[in-house]
Amino acid sequence: MLDPLFTTDAMREVFSDRARVQRMLDFEAALARAEASVGVIPADAADTIGRCCRAEDFDLAKIAVAARDAGNVAIPLIARLTERVARAHPGAPGYVHWGATSQDVIDSGLVLQLRDALTLIEKDVTRLADVLAKQASVHRATLIAGRTWLQQALPVTLGLKLATTLAALERHRARLAALRQRALVLQFGGAAGTLASLGSRGLAIEAALATELNLAIPTLPWHTQRDNLCEVATFLGLVVATVGKLARDLALLAQTEVGETFEPAKAGRGGSSTMPQKRNPVGASIALAAAVRVPGLVATMLAAAVQEHERGLGNWPAEWDTLPEIVLLAAGALDAMAGVVEGLETDVARMRANLDISQGQILAEAVQMALAPTLGRNVAHELVASASRRARSERRHLRDVLAEEPRVTAVLDRDAIGRVFDPQSYLGSTDAFIERALARRG
């Protein structure tokens, strides 16, 4: 019931029970074809095995129950596959799963699922980057308060806030391209990673199997070296952290007391069961829920990587649900925030009003920097800090307090002081930074 809330339909399909079984069967069919191609098993046996590798022909519920005693789903799956092959060709069942081990089929099946999943993740990252680029361009000059430690700091623009996430997503795209080369590799080592049961033909079968599955060949079988899968997990943890940061910022800007940005509104979205006025940031909630859950799941993957000798006990099974859950949550977070950014609503007047709420103190640094060349930075800093305290105490605009300070008026006349308090004049390299992010997006 909750799956549609936290992930996408496309990713649910990639990690459905049927897809998991089909990818394992894809390995078995490819293994048979590879072994037939080098003369290890008869070609007609390979053909029969391939025809029997259809997930829809298997009772997944019975396989799941049998896995409880077997220790993994591969053992009962291969047993059922062997039964089907025997009915189709009495001379072929002995060649099912020839020379492989359960971990070969489970891990390679997972890699095939990850290949599909990472393609979807790349599309999701690209979609979010595209809508961020569009909104950053639209709002490159939209003034908004920059905030540090949850307090107003300096004027920035909404475009810059969005461009920082865009730049992070571009780094993730580069990471993903490199990750694919390491993670999308075959697992094929036999019982203890030596392919001993295949004699001198192990490497030839490995090469043919990799070609059949369109996977790269690793340097060695990686039964108990889980760094590639941990890299997938940590990469997705980084993606979710980036998306979660965006969600957190937009949710804070949507608070009633702030009211600067809002998620797109439509009937049935963000309501309350009792308060008819509510407009809750549901997209941000989905992304933030992922950001809460994924770090612990990544930690589980890292903990499970410490495996014993040539085949681990208990730690390998810990990955089976953990990594798919990370991928599912990442997909849901990306999809949710792409929808939020795409339909983002803004209240520019409220942004400007909030800029003015501190009565000029958001530009205290600008005044300090205007005075520093003449008075020195330390003197200018203390002078403006003292004036800020007085402005707060007397509930006056900082500009007016400074206009009464002889050391200030000796450097800046009233018009110059007024110009310093124009937030548009204190944006530094904001526009250049946004342009750089947009240019690198291409």
Question: What angle (nearest 5°) sits at the alpha carbon of residue 321, between those of residues 320 and 324?
Answer: 95
Maximum alpha-carbon separation in the chain: 103
Which residue intervals of 254-347 are DSSP H helices?
Answer: 282-304, 315-342
DSSP-assigned states of every residue in 217-276: PPSS--TT--HHHHHHHHHHHHHHHHHHHHHHHHHHHTSTTT--EEPPP-TTSS--SS-T
Q: Name the nearest CA neighbour of 340 among 238, 411, 254.
A: 254
- The whole-angstrom separation of Cα 437 and Cα 358 is 31
Q: Name the nearest CA neighbour of 317 among 73, 50, 19, 64.
A: 73
Question: What are 316's two structure tokens?
Answer: 């390998």
Tell me the C-alpha to C-alpha distance, in Å, between residue 147 and each of 151, 156, 157, 198, 205: 5, 9, 11, 64, 59
DSSP-assigned states of every residue in 170-189: HHHHHHHHHHHHHHSB----
For residues 240-278, one letter each, b for 16 or more C-beta atoms within 10 angstroms of the residue's C-beta and e for the rest, the string is bbbbbbbbebbbebbeeebebbbbeeeeeebeeeeeeee
Tell me the C-alpha to C-alpha distance, in Å, between residue 203 and each of 26, 38, 96, 104, 146: 20, 11, 19, 15, 59
- Which residues are part of the catalytic machinery? 272, 311
Compute and round to an integer the Cα radius of gyration of the chain. Answer: 30
Q: Is-contact 259 350, C-beta < 8 A?
A: yes
Q: Name the nearest CA neighbour of 85 among 123, 132, 45, 38.
A: 45
Q: Is-contact 210 258, C-beta < 8 A?
A: no
Assign 11 to helix, strand or coil.
helix
